[in-house]
Structure 1
Amino acid sequence: MHAPLVVFDLDGTLVDTAPDLIGTLNTVLAPEGIPPVTLDAARRLVGAGARVMIQRAFAAHQRVCDETNLERLFQAFIAHYSDHIAEQSRPFPGAIEAMDHLESRGWRFAICTNKLEGLARRLLGALGIDGRFPVICGQDTFGVPKPDPTPLLRTISAAGADRAAAVMVGDTTTDIRTARAARIPVIAVDFGYSDVPPAQLGADHTISSFAELAAAAHAMLRRDETAASG
């Protein structure tokens, strides 16, 4: 029997990366004459990858970033962010304790993020928690980003897990749509970077702290087991 698996989104779900992401964004946009983005604006900008974040920052000031300029700024963003990836980023409160608790009960973990895989590995390594995740999937790992269900399904498969014993945890519409398309139960956190009120995301369950994760994950599996047996 396969061990149950929690597949985490990364930015805004497992790790509070907004300070370093926004810091890099402001560094890259300053020469373009874009005013600094505040951390309060992070929820509207973070979550769909660096290119979208750059485009959203331009759009917030009624400016358009053409493809050539976008690619140049994206490369500058990646270079700077790689060097400053964990200066202020930290796991959300209770995340490590929640994983310890679940692990002691036989759960395993994986990452499925729209961050580039190399950056995800670099961040998790800098935080000293990469060893918890035998599979770390980024937007470039399988050639397609979320909300396509392929990254999530292949992450579960690569982890040697059964889809019937997997739960996704995320913070945005992208994560919910991904899980729905993959027919995986999904838990939303309400402290992430969603530009949609968490209660409106349509997740199977919403948690306000990682102290609630274990109960929610177990409930998701029991629900699916009951549905399958019925």
Structure 2
Amino acid sequence: MKPTLRNASQLQAAIIDLDGTLVDTLGDFVEALNRTLAELHLPALGRAQVERMIGKGSENLLLSAMAHLGEPDPAARLPVAWAAYQRHYLHVNGRFSQVFDGALAGLQALRDAGLPLACVTNKPLAFAQPLLHDKGLAGFFSHVFGGDSFERKKPDPLPLLKTCEALGTAPARTLMVGDSQNDGLAARAAGCPVVLVTYGYNHGEPIAEAPHDALVDSLAQLSEWPGLANVQRA
């Protein structure tokens, strides 16, 4: 499926999500979360259960997991759970994940068009930066912002607006590429065009129901976008 936005030639930059868009990190989440739950004397969760909980930040993942397992006061246990989770995630980060097919080709197509790229994720920055380096993706990005880089996370538009400021670009000419309703809602509120991939993590909901301008089955399809080779930065 080709992107259906009319033309890419007026784009100034692109913002790319990380988990579920560039890298399949579900295995990392499952491993770190279950090691944390074991410390809390709670049972492990399966991949399908964890997949529905990720995407809104690590704190939300922990709270959702504890609530799902019947913990009476997840918020009270969050400080201990968060400390354990940080320790475990830093240890497993990247070990149970892989770059999605087509991701490198898509990033290369955007870079070859002369577009500055920023990575904006709800993953804490201390997890995001090492992962990008480990997977050979860090060199594509002039800016990397995590879920703790700003006062609010996606789906709030603030991270995208702040990233546009850092890039020096207009939101209406800054493409958002993501995999979930968090990305679609943030892009709509910020005034950014948005392309969503069909293979990511969207809390178990159909991605076609999330706000989007186009859907792609692979980031490699961005290279087919009309006008991408004739991007006008002015």
Q: Structure 1 length normalisation: TM-score?
A: 0.87
Contact 2:125-2:146 at 8 Å conserved across structures = yes
Contact 1:9-1:111 at 8 Å conserved across structures = yes
Give, in whole Å, the separation in 1 of the partners of 2:39 and 2:172.
Answer: 49
The residue that corresponds to 2:222 in the other structure is 213
- Number of residue equivalences: 221
Q: Structure 2 length normalisation: TM-score?
A: 0.86
Contact 2:17-2:121 at 8 Å conserved across structures = yes
- State the shift of 1:202 in Å: 2.3
**Is structure 2 residue 145 aligned with structure 1 residue 145?**
no
**Is structure 2 residue 154 aligned with structure 1 residue 133?**
no
Which residue identity lines up with residue 218 of structure 2 in the other structure? S
Contact 2:156-2:189 at 8 Å conserved across structures = yes
- State the shift of 1:17 in Å: 0.9
Query: Can you give the 5+ residue segments of structure 1 that lack an aligned partner in the other structure?
Result: 223-230
Pick the aligned partner of 1:73 from 65, 71, 81.
81
**Secondary structure in structure 1 of the residue aligned to 2:169:** coil
Contact 1:10-1:112 at 8 Å conserved across structures = yes
Deviations 1:49-89, CA, capped at 9 Å, x for gaps: 11111122223233334323112101211121112211122
The residue that corresponds to 1:31 in the other structure is 39
Query: Can you give the 5+ residue segments of structure 2 that lack an aligned partner in the other structure?
Result: 1-8
Which residue identity lines up with residue 43 of structure 1 in the other structure? E
Change in 2 beyond 3 A, CA 1:186/1:3: closer
Percent of counterpart pairs with the same letter? 33
The residue that corresponds to 1:225 in the other structure is none
Which residue identity lines up with residue 145 of structure 2 in the other structure? C
- State the shift of 1:216 in Å: 5.1
**Is structure 2 residue 91 aligned with structure 1 residue 83?**
yes
Give, in whole Å, the separation in 2 of the partners of 1:112 and 1:79.
Answer: 22
The residue that corresponds to 2:209 in the other structure is 200
Contact 2:173-2:193 at 8 Å conserved across structures = no
**Is structure 2 residue 183 aligned with structure 1 residue 170?**
no
- State the shift of 1:217 in Å: 8.3
Give, in whole Å, the separation in 1 of the partners of 2:227 and 2:78.
Answer: 43
* C-alpha RMSD of matched pairs (Å): 2.3
Contact 1:124-1:130 at 8 Å conserved across structures = yes
Give, in whole Å, the separation in 2 of the partners of 1:144 and 1:174.
Answer: 12
